[in-house]
């Protein structure tokens, strides 16, 4: 096989990234390329004309990307810059239909762009892309105003569904595991895929209504395939929910994702168990705080535990 | 080569990519398919439906793992957590070989989720080959690296893409997943003769072949995997099969995915070229 001779062109006058022999040269080139890709697109879905240091981006691109007979260095780099943003925005678009419905397509895209510019992906899988979205919404409430509390609730609910879909599970406890243990000595773990949410809006009903309207929630495949620009929604908006406290358990059963409304006392017991309190302490605290006096609490709590056990929510504590 | 050390001495036929829209059809109808290729990262999860589906598929079919995120070409070291999860999946699937791309896509722990081209230099080839060897030693399975489609070239490159590919696989002593469509796309974008590429790689290292569709834009081609395979790519495939032998072939179709039967029909067109090879012997 014919091979070109390596050229030793490294010298101090070489433009940055024009010579890549060592691993550190490669790192420098890859950092430059990544910086280019992570820069948000301009309002016409093109690459920004000015680099971070104020130089024209075409100058920076020309330092390390070859032009060809049809495309400049800038245009060739722009293909990758566009495809990066189309890919990640498409992913958030698919994973957060509820948040998108709350904000509208334009504001959602602006939020997602700001989020990814601040928190680029640090995971090999796009599944984790929205992991810090709640944190970002809390940090920059102006991006979701005047719907920040609703947006926070929705993003918690939608992330909980990702966790429930393919999060880890532990062996559910059996009667043998807790045999002979008194309630004031017994602690129980909760499945890692189970999320307990205390919310100020009925985002579960809202998301059902959104999904009923919007059928295209299929998760994109990880692949080399190129994606298109984020789609604009022309569908009729779903009315945003009014403020109303709800408690939810987001979980999976037989590998299907569900959300289950909880009574306030149910939530308190489960949250206390998650904190490591004993079964007796968790129940006593919850019942002591309730204003409902006309219930047979012994029977009610027993039924709850039966249901939670049947759903496989309990595991051995850490 | 039909069976070689780089594909675990298997002799697989025509495979198709396992994709979510087809799960229901495959599990219910159990169509006859030589093998399925899975995207490893889609199943490197801790639980839930993906692994349940995979286990059902494994009961009926042969599965080969194809990855998109090892990033052999990144200046970063191999991600041990990633490899640990990958090895767990390798044990689950018993994949006879494993493929990923000759590319990079992350640096300093930040991910672009893209398959970005390498600068084609001897230093980079050496670094990349060392990572491939280390991954193979850890995963204990043969590795084939796939050539990617690209839209840009670096000033730093000091050889052609096929010379770089050859350099890497010789240094790493690994296999090649020859993506014929990617060669065609890159040949148009970078103005080289795709047959020079096909003729100047170590054919005995090809353990698997990919074919796919692409999209034509005014000034460049995009590797979209959302169309049937185009005629120039079929011609290249026929040429490649004469050089590398009757090698396991997979059709990729990742976007605007049609029915399972349509994808399968398109994949089986490859049999025409494979059978003519057999007849010629």
pLDDT tens figures, B60-95: 999 999 999 999 999 999 999 999 999 999 999 999
B110–A120 CB contact, under 8 Å: yes
A17–B79 CB contact, under 8 Å: no
The question of ipTM being above 0.90 is answered as yes
* B-chain residues near A14 (CB < 8 A): none
Cβ-Cβ pairs closer than 8 A, A with B, add up to: 203
Q: Which of B181, B215, B178 is nearest to B200 (CA)?
A: B178
Q: Residue A288 — pLDDT band, cuts 50, 70, 90?
A: confident
A124–B47 CB contact, under 8 Å: no
Residue A256 makes CB contacts below 8 A (sequence gap 6+) with B49
Tokens 């850490």 — which residue?
A: A318
Please give the Cα distance from A33 to A35 (Å, whole number): 5
Contact A239, A279 (CB under 8 A): no
In angstroms, the separation between the Cα of residue B279 and the nearest Cα of chain A is 30
pLDDT tens figures, B226-236: 889 999 999 99
Q: Residue B10 — pLDDT band, cuts 50, 70, 90?
A: very high
B222: closest chain A residue by CA? A226
pLDDT score for A64: 97
In angstroms, the separation between the Cα of residue B39 and the nearest Cα of chain A is 7
Burial class (CB in 10 A: 0-12, 13-18, 19+), A212: exposed
Locate all alpha helices (DSSP H) within chain B, ordered by sequence: 23-29, 49-60, 80-93, 122-139, 161-172, 180-190, 194-199, 231-244, 260-268, 270-280
pLDDT score for A214: 72
* B-chain residues near A80 (CB < 8 A): 114, 116, 151-152
pLDDT tens figures, A128-138: 999 999 999 99
pLDDT tens figures, A291-305: 887 888 899 999 999
Range scoring the smallest mean pLDDT among A289-303, B91-105, B115-129, B173-187: A289-303
* B-chain residues near A127 (CB < 8 A): 45
* B-chain residues near A119 (CB < 8 A): none
Residue A56 makes CB contacts below 8 A (sequence gap 6+) with A49, A50
B123–A256 CB contact, under 8 Å: no
Residue A196 makes CB contacts below 8 A (sequence gap 6+) with A190, A247, A248, A249, A262, A267, A270, A271, A274
Long-range contacts of A266-269 (CB under 8 A, 24+ apart): A266/A304, A267/A196, A267/A198, A269/A301, A269/A304
Q: Work out whether the CA dihedral A135, A37, A123, A248 comes out positive or negative.
A: positive
* A-chain residues near B74 (CB < 8 A): 30
B46–A166 CB contact, under 8 Å: yes
The stretch A69-78 carries a mean pLDDT of 98
B127–A26 CB contact, under 8 Å: yes
Q: Average model confidence (pLDDT) for chain A?
A: 90
* B-chain residues near A39 (CB < 8 A): none
B151–A21 CB contact, under 8 Å: no
Please give the Cα distance from A3 to B112 (Å, whole number): 31
B124–A3 CB contact, under 8 Å: no
Phi, psi of A164 (to 5 degrees): -70, -30
The stretch A242-251 carries a mean pLDDT of 97
Please give the Cα distance from B138 to B246 (Å, whole number): 30
């Amino acid at each position: 096989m014919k091979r070109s001779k390596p050229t030793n062109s490294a010298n101090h006058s070489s433009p940055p990234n024009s010579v890549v022999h060592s691993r550190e040269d490669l790192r420098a080139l890859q950092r430059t390329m990544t910086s280019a890709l992570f820069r948000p697109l301009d309002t016409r879905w093109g690459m920004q004309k000015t680099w971070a240091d104020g130089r024209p981006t075409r100058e920076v691109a020309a330092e390390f990307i070859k032009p060809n007979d049809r495309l400049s260095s800038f245009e060739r780099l722009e293909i990758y810059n566009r495809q990066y943003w189309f890919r990640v925005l498409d992913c958030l678009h698919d994973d957060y239909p509820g948040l998108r419905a709350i904000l509208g397509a334009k504001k959602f895209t602006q939020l997602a762009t700001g989020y990814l510019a601040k928190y680029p992906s640090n995971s090999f899988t796009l599944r984790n892309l929205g992991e810090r979205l709640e944190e970002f919404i809390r940090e920059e409430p102006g991006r979701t105003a005047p719907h920040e509390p609703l947006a926070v609730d929705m993003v918690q609910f939608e992330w909980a569904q990702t966790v429930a879909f393919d999060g880890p599970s532990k062996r559910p406890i059996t009667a043998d595991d807790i045999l002979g243990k008194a309630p004031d000595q017994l602690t129980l773990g909760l499945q890692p895929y189970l999320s307990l949410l205390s919310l100020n809006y009925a985002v579960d009903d809202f998301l059902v209504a959104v999904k009923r309207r919007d059928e295209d929630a299929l998760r994109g495949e990880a692949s080399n395939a190129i994606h298109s620009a984020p789609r604009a929604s022309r569908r009729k908006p779903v009315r945003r929910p009014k403020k109303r406290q709800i408690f939810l358990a987001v979980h999976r059963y037989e590998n299907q994702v569900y959300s289950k409304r909880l009574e306030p006392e149910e939530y308190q017991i489960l949250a206390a168990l998650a904190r490591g309190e004993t079964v007796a302490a968790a129940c006593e605290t919850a019942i002591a705080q309730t204003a409902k006096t006309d219930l047979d609490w012994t029977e009610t709590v027993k039924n709850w535990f039966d249901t939670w056990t049947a759903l496989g929510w309990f595991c051995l504590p850490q | 080569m039909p069976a070689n050390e780089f594909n675990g001495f298997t002799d697989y036929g025509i495979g198709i990519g396992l994709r979510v829209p087809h799960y229901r059809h495959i599990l219910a109808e159990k169509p006859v398919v030589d093998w399925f290729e899975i995207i490893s990262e889609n199943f490197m999860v801790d639980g839930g439906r993906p692994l349940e589906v995979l286990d059902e598929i494994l009961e009926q079919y042969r599965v080969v793992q194809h990855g998109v995120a090892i990033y052999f070409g990144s200046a970063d070291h191999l991600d041990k957590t990633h490899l640990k999860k990958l090895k767990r999946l390798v044990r689950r699937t018993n994949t006879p070989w494993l493929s990923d791309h000759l590319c990079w896509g992350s640096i300093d722990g930040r991910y672009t989720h893209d398959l970005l081209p390498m600068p084609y230099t001897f230093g980079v080839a050496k670094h990349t080959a060392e990572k491939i060897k280390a991954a193979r030693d850890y995963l204990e399975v043969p590795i084939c690296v796939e050539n990617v489609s690209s839209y840009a070239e670096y000033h730093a490159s000091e050889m052609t893409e096929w010379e770089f590919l050859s350099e890497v696989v010789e240094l790493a002593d690994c296999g090649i997943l020859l993506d014929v469509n990617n060669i065609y796309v890159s040949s148009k974008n970078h103005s080289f003769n795709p047959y020079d590429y096909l003729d100047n790689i170590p054919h005995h290292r090809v353990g698997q072949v990919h074919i796919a569709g692409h999209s034509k834009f005014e000034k460049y081609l995009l590797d979209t995997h959302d169309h049937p395979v185009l005629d120039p790519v079929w011609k290249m495939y026929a040429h490649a099969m004469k050089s590398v032998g009757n090698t396991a072939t997979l059709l990729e179709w990742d976007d605007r995915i049609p029915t399972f039967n349509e994808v399968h029909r398109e994949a089986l067109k490859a049999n025409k070229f494979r059978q003519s090879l057999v007849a010629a012997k």
